[in-house]
């Protein structure tokens, strides 16, 4: 059955009737003056070969099993109303050509680009944004976070005509925060039907997109290939010229990084991330590097970092005791991991995420490795008896252990060091490696004791509701991996969501971080303020290599919220020379510190 919003907007579309009139004296803004960050030398063509560690469980971007690494290839191939310039951080046109701020400090108005099209040729209209609101509020998508956000944070979308709309936030906000809240992506009304079987019906659907690429060829369990739309509507937009240059993106599933690296050295994969110290320091002395066929770059960026570390599930009886959680934090020798196997390349994280300026409480320090303090806390919690192998137990015979679920095989050696050190404090870490997509599903289903993982940094300000609010505790498919339900946190998070003044909001953010630290539900790991990558010489970069907000130099899609991706291109002439093997080049190792933040 159609909802009232569907019936109303369809009636308006047929008869050309507007539901409202635009306010008088709106100041329409746009931005085509900021520096161009793509290269005019870029050339279209070629195939970009990359890899995935696991095949996704769905092509949906919301609902069960959708929050995987592959999801970004779809989400960041959807343009929103605007993007943020990756160096000035000002809004730039995307689906909208112009925008205006309402006097109520809650509403932004937008003029859509009449040329904007879905990948199936259908026009993008204001009705697709109305439908996005309806879809994200619907229970059939089985996505509680989206249901809540599009009810409490986005409270209204108004259509004025096919190409004019407004979006209203749930509370007054500064202009900066409005830009962080209302930059929505549409949903194709002509494609989706909100039926009870929506999750199953669209699990493998190739939904229309507004970006430059569409899913083309799929070999289930083996590979996914995207193709470039030659007539993409955004080809001539100011900030999208000379971007998204490759004709095809081929993602092959290679579950083992060592095997993937062998594929890279053979030229079957075009670029390879070398963030891992052992890869950067130990595996780049091969003929391909010495002959200059493969280049290396160490590029410092200036981006927020999502939380990386241990997420403790307080629903587990042993972890319900804060003394046990604090003891575990003191039993984790993160610094030894950083100094040895990570070779000092990474930096210790102290809080739940970094890089958000005043929103981060820099006075908080992660609990240091302290065997005596750990044992004292364990004893207070009743674990005061020595068991087999030196592991502590309580009077009931319960052994002090912590099962750690993780998804990256290369992290085994890191966690093994932590396990060795934890035993000195009487704690047994049990390492549980699970395949990527399946492992994250285990975490989302809250079947872990401790989850070792990192989140991507996103947005202009830290996000807390999805991670810590009690409404997401005890619920599958939410990001509250801690299962934390704390009245003080709830109150702070609710204040944080409605506070308009940025200084006051930053103060509440610091209070939230302090409370998270007190609860000891998150044990901070490390942060990496750069990207390090190897790439075959025929993969070309702009003269400036990347932008301030580039998390990767070889991300083929748009990026979010900053527009950073799709800057590289394939030089087919040079590729033929390289593949012929008849030339050697000078080896290239670049270290770019343009955006390095000295406080790191």
Q: Looking at residue 600, what is its pLDDT? A: 40
Report how far residue 361's alpha carbon sits from residue 563's, in angstroms, rounded to the nearest whole number. 28
Residue 1 has pLDDT above 80, yes or no: no
pLDDT, mean of residues 343-364: 93
Cβ–Cβ under 8 Å, residues 251 and 73: yes
Q: Residue 301 burial by CB count (10 A; 0-12/13-18/19+): exposed, middle or buried?
A: buried
For tokens 């490696």, name the residue: 433
pLDDT, mean of residues 419-439: 93
The DSSP bridge partners found for residue 165 are: 110, 159
Report how far residue 313's alpha carbon sits from residue 403's, in angstroms, rounded to the nearest whole number. 11
- 67-71, 378-382, 465-469, 572-576: lowest mean pLDDT where? 67-71
* Diameter of the chain measured on Cα atoms: 79
Query: What is the share, in percent, of the chain residues with pLDDT greater than 70?
Result: 96
Report how far residue 377's alpha carbon sits from residue 327's, in angstroms, rounded to the nearest whole number. 5
Residue 550 has pLDDT above 60, yes or no: yes
Residue 160 has pLDDT above 50, yes or no: yes
pLDDT, mean of residues 295-318: 95
Q: Sign of dihedral through CA atoms 178, 181, 185, 190?
A: negative
Report how far residue 482's alpha carbon sits from residue 6's, in angstroms, rounded to the nearest whole number. 38
Query: How many Cα neighbours within 13 Å face the side chain of 317?
Result: 3
pLDDT, mean of residues 41-56: 96
The pLDDT-based confidence of 9 (bands split at 50, 70, 90) is very low
Write out the two tokens for 36.
């161009």
Give one DSSP letter per residue of 537-560, joined into a string.
Answer: TTEE--TT-S-TT-S-TT--S--S
Helix runs in 426-548, H state only: 436-444, 465-468, 487-498, 502-519
Q: What is the pLDDT of residues 77-136, one digit of tens each?
A: 999 999 999 999 999 999 999 999 999 999 999 999 999 999 999 999 999 999 999 999
Cβ neighbour number for residue 574 with a 10 Å cutoff: 16
The pLDDT-based confidence of 485 (bands split at 50, 70, 90) is very high
Helix (H, G, I), strand (E, B) or coil at 408: coil
Residue 15 has pLDDT above 60, yes or no: no
Q: What is the pLDDT of residues 222-278, one digit of tens each?
A: 999 999 999 999 999 999 999 999 999 999 999 999 999 999 999 999 999 999 998
Report how far residue 51's alpha carbon sits from residue 571's, in angstroms, rounded to the nearest whole number. 20
Q: Looking at residue 12, what is its pLDDT? A: 46
The DSSP bridge partners found for residue 98 are: 111
pLDDT, mean of residues 19-41: 93
Report how far residue 300's alpha carbon sits from residue 51's, in angstroms, rounded to the nearest whole number. 24
Query: What is the share, in percent, of the chain residues with pLDDT greater than 90?
Result: 85
The pLDDT-based confidence of 291 (bands split at 50, 70, 90) is very high
pLDDT, mean of residues 562-578: 95
pLDDT, mean of residues 315-341: 97
Q: Looking at residue 19, what is its pLDDT? A: 54
Report how far residue 200's alpha carbon sits from residue 196's, in angstroms, rounded to the nearest whole number. 9
Expressed in percent and rounded to 5, the helix, strand and coil fractions of the chain are 30, 20, 50
More confident residue, 600 or 350: 350
Q: Looking at residue 437, what is its pLDDT? A: 75
Residue 139 has pLDDT above 80, yes or no: yes
Write out the two tokens for 560.
């979010």
Give one DSSP letter per residue of 8-37, joined into a string.
Answer: HHHHHHHHT--SS-PPTT---B----SPP-
Q: Looking at residue 67, what is its pLDDT? A: 85
Write out the two tokens for 558.
């748009």
Q: Looking at residue 461, what is its pLDDT? A: 87
pLDDT, mean of residues 58-72: 93
Residue 2 has pLDDT above 80, yes or no: no
Q: Looking at residue 498, what is its pLDDT? A: 86
Q: What is the pLDDT of residues 166-201, one digit of tens each?
A: 999 998 988 988 998 898 999 999 999 999 999 999
Residue 599 has pLDDT above 60, yes or no: no
Residue 490 has pLDDT above 70, yes or no: yes
The pLDDT-based confidence of 393 (bands split at 50, 70, 90) is very high
Report how far residue 194's alpha carbon sits from residue 8's, in angstroms, rounded to the nearest whole number. 16
The DSSP bridge partners found for residue 96 are: 112
Write out the two tokens for 37.
């960050």
Q: Looking at residue 35, what is its pLDDT? A: 97
Mean pLDDT, the chain, whole residue set: 93
Q: Looking at residue 456, what is its pLDDT? A: 80
Cβ–Cβ under 8 Å, residues 532 and 592: no
The pLDDT-based confidence of 18 (bands split at 50, 70, 90) is very low
């Amino acid at each position: 059955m159609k909802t009232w919003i569907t019936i109303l907007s369809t009636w308006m579309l047929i008869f050309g009737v507007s539901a409202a009139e635009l306010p008088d004296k709106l100041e329409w803004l746009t931005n085509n003056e900021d520096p161009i960050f793509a290269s005019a030398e870029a050339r279209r063509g070629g195939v970009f070969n990359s890899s995935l560690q696991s095949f996704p469980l769905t092509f949906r971007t919301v609902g069960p099993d959708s929050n995987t690494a592959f999801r970004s290839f779809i989400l960041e191939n959807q343009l929103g109303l605007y993007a943020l310039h990756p160096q000035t951080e000002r809004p730039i046109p995307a689906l909208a050509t112009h925008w205006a701020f309402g006097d109520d400090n809650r509403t932004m108005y937008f003029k859509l680009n009449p040329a904007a099209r879905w990948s199936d040729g259908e026009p993008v209209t204001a009705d697709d944004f109305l439908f996005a609101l309806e879809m994200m509020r619907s229970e059939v998508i089985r996505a509680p976070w989206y249901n809540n956000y599009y009810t409490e944070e986005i409270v209204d979308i108004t259509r004025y005509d096919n190409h004019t709309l407004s979006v209203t936030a749930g509370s007054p906000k500064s202009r900066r925060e409005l830009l962080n809240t209302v930059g929505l992506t549409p949903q194709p009304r002509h494609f989706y039907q909100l039926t009870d079987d929506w999750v199953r019906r669209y699990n493998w659907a190739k939904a229309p997109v507004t970006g430059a690429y569409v899913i083309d060829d799929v070999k289930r369990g083996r590979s996914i290939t995207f193709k470039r739309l030659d007539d993409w509507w955004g080809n001539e937009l100011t900030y999208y010229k000379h971007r998204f240059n490759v004709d095809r993106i081929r993602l092959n599933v290679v579950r083992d990084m060592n095997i993937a690296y062998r594929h890279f050295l053979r030229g079957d994969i075009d670029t390879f991330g070398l963030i891992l110290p052992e890869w950067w320091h130990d595996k780049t002395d091969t003929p391909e590097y010495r002959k200059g066929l493969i280049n290396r770059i160490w590029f410092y960026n200036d981006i927020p970092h999502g939380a990386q570390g241990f997420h403790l599930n307080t629903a587990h009886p042993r972890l319900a005791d804060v003394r046990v959680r604090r003891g575990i934090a003191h039993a984790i020798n993160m610094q030894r991991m950083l100094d040895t196997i990570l070779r000092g390349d990474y930096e210790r994280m102290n809080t739940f995420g970094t890089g958000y300026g005043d929103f981060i409480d820099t006075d908080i320090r992660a609990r240091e490795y302290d065997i005596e303090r750990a044992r004292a806390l364990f004893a207070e919690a009743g674990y005061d008896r020595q068991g087999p192998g030196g592991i502590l137990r309580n009077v009931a015979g319960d052994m002090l252990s912590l099962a750690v679920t993780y998804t990256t095989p290369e992290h085994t050696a890191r966690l093994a060091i932590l396990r060795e050190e934890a035993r000195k404090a009487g704690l047994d870490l049990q390492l549980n490696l699970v395949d990527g997509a399946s492992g994250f599903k285990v975490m989302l289903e809250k079947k872990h004791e401790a989850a070792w993982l990192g989140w991507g940094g996103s947005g202009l300000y830290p996000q807390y509701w999805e991670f810590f609010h009690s409404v997401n505790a005890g619920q599958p498919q939410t990001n509250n991996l801690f299962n934390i339900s704390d009245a003080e946190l709830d109150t702070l998070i609710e204040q944080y969501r409605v506070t308009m003044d940025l200084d006051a909001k930053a103060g509440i953010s610091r209070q939230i971080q302090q409370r998270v630290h007190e609860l000891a539900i998150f044990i901070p790991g490390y942060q990496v303020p750069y990207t390090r990558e190897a790439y075959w010489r025929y993969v070309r970069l702009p003269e400036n290599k990347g932008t301030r907000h580039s998390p990767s130099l070889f991300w083929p899609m748009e990026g979010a919220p900053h527009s950073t991706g799709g800057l590289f291109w394939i030089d087919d002439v040079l590729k033929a020379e390289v593949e012929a093997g008849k030339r050697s080049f000078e080896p290239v190792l670049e270290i770019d510190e343009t955006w390095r933040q000295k406080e790191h």
